[in-house]
Chain A
Amino acid sequence: MNTNLSMNNIVDWTTTSDLVGNVKVDQVGVLDRVSSLATRSIKRESKLDALEKIVSMCDLTTLEGEDTEGKIIQMSSKAMSPDPNDDNVPSAAAVCVYPALVSTAKKIVKDSNVKVASVSSYFPSGQAPIESKISDTQFAIDEGADEIDIVINRKAFFEGDYKKVYEEIKALKDVCGEIHLKTILEIGELKTYENIKKASVIALCAGSDFIKTSTGKISNGSSREACLIMARTVREFESYGYGMRGIKVAGGIKDAKDAIRYLVIINEELGGSWLSSDYFRFGASSLLDDVLKQIKKLKTNAYQSSYYFPRG
């Protein structure tokens, strides 16, 4: 089944086009499954296990105009040791920053487990020529980024030019080479489940290592329904022999309870093999603190205030 797969895990356009044309997703079925999985009751040791996994899957993120080196240093050191009072709490997966701040973050995390991810490709709108997106991405890589988070070209998508969407991602994948590529679909703009699935297929075919829900820059960022659809697309890809790809959910995942529900979706739709930072990530700014509090609560039975945890 691997015949359509070239270097860099890229599926050729003819096959991609067929897959996109054959996308089917039923809204009622998606909603039913998501609400049914939301009733899973995660308690005690399985909750602690989940919470620690979530910490290790967090991409600690700041993507603001006001970001400074000081802020990035603070956040990066928090990513390396989210709870300095508890050695069992793992480090976060990565810090996610703008290209201009990659080198600052890299200086702090060095060769630790914590990766530096950079957004690029004229994040968050993607409204720029491909040459600019390529140089944006190349810059982040030159600065030392381990991972690149790009956005799909929604302009082209809504104009029906799926090939352009595909070609741009493919071109950026070429720039990345071995560097981990996460492609943001911006599901809040795509709106329909069919669009989300089509965009997932295009992004995966074009060689993305991860597909990601949102930039976090619009109000309806992530949704569990989108996560389910993306998980099923990833599952389909693996069944075609195209290898294991990952998912990153970002944008509006506010607390530990919500994050656990995402984890349940991945666990039941994709299975335990996907439950590591290699294949599942959370884009997080405020989420991490709630998860740390819940871990403390499970271990000590006391719900602590935010000031017990270091600022990020």
Chain B
Amino acid sequence: MNNWEYAESIESEKIVKIEKKYGHFINGEFVSPNSKKYLDTISPSSEEVLSSISIGNEKDVDFAVNAAKEGLKQWSKTSPSERSKYLFKLARLIQERSREFAVLESLDGGKPIKESRDFDLPQVAQNFFYYAGWADKIDLAWGSEISKPYGVVGQIIPWNFPLLMLSWKVAPALATGNTVVLKPAETTPLTALLFAELCDEVGLPKGVFNLITGDGTTGSELVNHKDIKKIAFTGSTSVGKYIQKSLAGRDVGLTLELGGKAANIVYNDAALDEAVEGVVNGIFFNQGHVCCAGSRLLVQEDIHDIFISKLEKRMQTLRVGNPLDKNTDIGAINSKDQLDKITNLVNEGVSDGGELFQIECELPKNGFWFKPSLFTGVQANYKIATEEIFGPVLTTLTFRTPDEAVEIANNTEYGLSAGIWTEKGSKILWTADRLDAGVIWANTFNKFDPASPFGGYKESGFGREGGRHGLLSYIKASS
């Protein structure tokens, strides 16, 4: 053997400056929380405490919403082309400081630096550029005479793509003339706090962007605030249902982007090596903490054995470890809670009778880690075949015919995304026509573009983010 080991190549943490303690960002400045309560945000790869963040209570939320109401007075008088300028400035500043944001994202959330550097941050900047361009063209978007913003918008974002989800929500909301109260996830607030500093730096009028940190109780206060005109939420289906119930009977707009259990369908006439790559990317990207992850592999029965053998060999080359190592493919699981959830579901899969393959690798002593895993021999009634695991765990099912593939793919409460692998163009179109999924990739996976709308069917939510359609989530159009 001529093994060639890659030496560690660590991205320096020195570029980021993390405060010991953070307040909320309200009315253009950082303020101490009324609650006087804080919670630690830790690095999931080392369990080291990075900082303390404020927990927002009812009064904090009220303060933030009122600031956004005040901010709206000024923001609605700001011309669309001026709004556009602020967004362009933010986009450029994000680009300039992208290295800093990327390191912070990987430290706080556990994702590999190569992903935060090469995927998250470029996408974030692109989203701001894209919606900056729309700000003065909104009346053209729908052939509508009148399009009005909602007003004060509450936005609650998840921990898997913290800054990217901020950009999906904040950029279109501000472009369309709304003001924002944003609540980032409790485990990953740091990049949003740094973004708040940029808002100050570009001179965004006070109260236009407000940030309130905290846990679920803070989010609940935001949803239930009387002056909120619209809630945009990305997260779990159970929380989405709770929000929808809370808002029932109120004149509050709502868009939800929730869970998924996407089918990645591999036909026997696919380019198998490339399909293996796509399946690996589909489930192991960002440790599988991806709502549109291709978590159900549907492979045609006659190629099952060869495909699984190729897949296992490829999985074995994944490099699990320090998120700041530039050669890391799989980072840390975002939190202890999430790790427990993944572990329990995988244990259940084994006791149900699923056959588990995990790669051989050494996991770091501290932090939260899970080996990339593959289940075969799974039946449709196993929990691992239906429930969103939100971790690096792929479940394999087989099919015999295209009809059966579609039937199995749609046999889920979710409908966010799907993948199709075949060299035959006609088969791609036939299959895509029949899948209930908001995004369908063919011979690729996890490709994003700010111009392309994203969102789900069924319990994966409603409303679209990105593209022209994404504007509709933040305006009321009439003619």
Q: Could you tell me which A residues sit within 8 Å of B by CB distance?
A: 24-26, 28-30, 32-33, 39-47, 49-50, 53, 232, 239, 263, 267-268, 272-273, 275-276
Contact = CB atoms under 8 A, between A and B. Distances in A.
Given A24-B272, A32-B444, A39-B118, A272 B3 contact: yes
A90 to B, nearest CB: 12
B273 A28 contact: no
Contacts of B118: 39
A25 B273 CA distance: 8
The interface centre, meaning the residue of A33, A44, A50, A239 with most chain B CB atoms within 10 A of its CB, is A33
22 contacts: A24-B271, A26-B271, A28-B443, A28-B444, A29-B275, A29-B277, A29-B444, A32-B277, A33-B274, A39-B114, A40-B327, A41-B9, A41-B326, A41-B327, A42-B6, A45-B7, A46-B4, A46-B7, A50-B4, A232-B273, A239-B309, A272-B2
A32 B2 CA distance: 27
A303 B7 CA distance: 22
A255 B118 CA distance: 24
Contacts of A26: 271, 274-275, 423, 443
Given A40-B6, A41-B9, A268-B317, A24 B423 contact: yes
B50 interface: no
Contacts of A43: 7-9
B248 interface: no
B407 interface: no
Given A25-B274, A272-B2, A39 B326 contact: yes
Interface residues of B, number: 28
A24 B269 contact: yes
10 pairs of A and B residues whose beta carbons are closest in the complex = A29-B274, A41-B9, A41-B326, A26-B274, A24-B271, A275-B2, A26-B271, A272-B3, A46-B7, A44-B7
A23 to B, nearest CB: 9
Nearest to A47: B7
Interface in B256-304: 269-275, 277-278, 281
Given A24-B271, A33-B277, A275 B4 contact: yes
Nearest to B9: A41
Nearest to B273: A232
B7 A24 contact: no
A22 to B, nearest CB: 9
A53 B7 CA distance: 16
A41 B444 CA distance: 25
Contacts of B309: 239
B459 to A, nearest CB: 31
Contacts of B275: 26, 29
B5 interface: yes
Interface string B324-361: 00110000000000000000000000000000000000
Contacts of B281: 32
A71 B272 CA distance: 47
B444 to A, nearest CB: 5
Contacts of B277: 29, 32-33
Nearest to B1: A272
B3, B271, B278, B327: residue with the most chain A Cβ atoms closer than 10 Å: B271
Contacts of B269: 24
A273 B3 CA distance: 7
Nearest to A280: B2
Interface in B104-126: 114, 118
A187 to B, nearest CB: 17
Nearest to A50: B4
A30 B1 CA distance: 27
A263 B5 CA distance: 12
B303 to A, nearest CB: 12
Contacts of A49: 4-5
Given A263-B4, A272-B2, A24 B9 contact: no
A68 B119 CA distance: 53
Interface string B417-456: 0000001000000000000000000011000000000000
Contact of B4 (A33, A44, A232, A272): A272
Contacts of A46: 4-7
Contacts of A239: 309
B2 A53 contact: yes
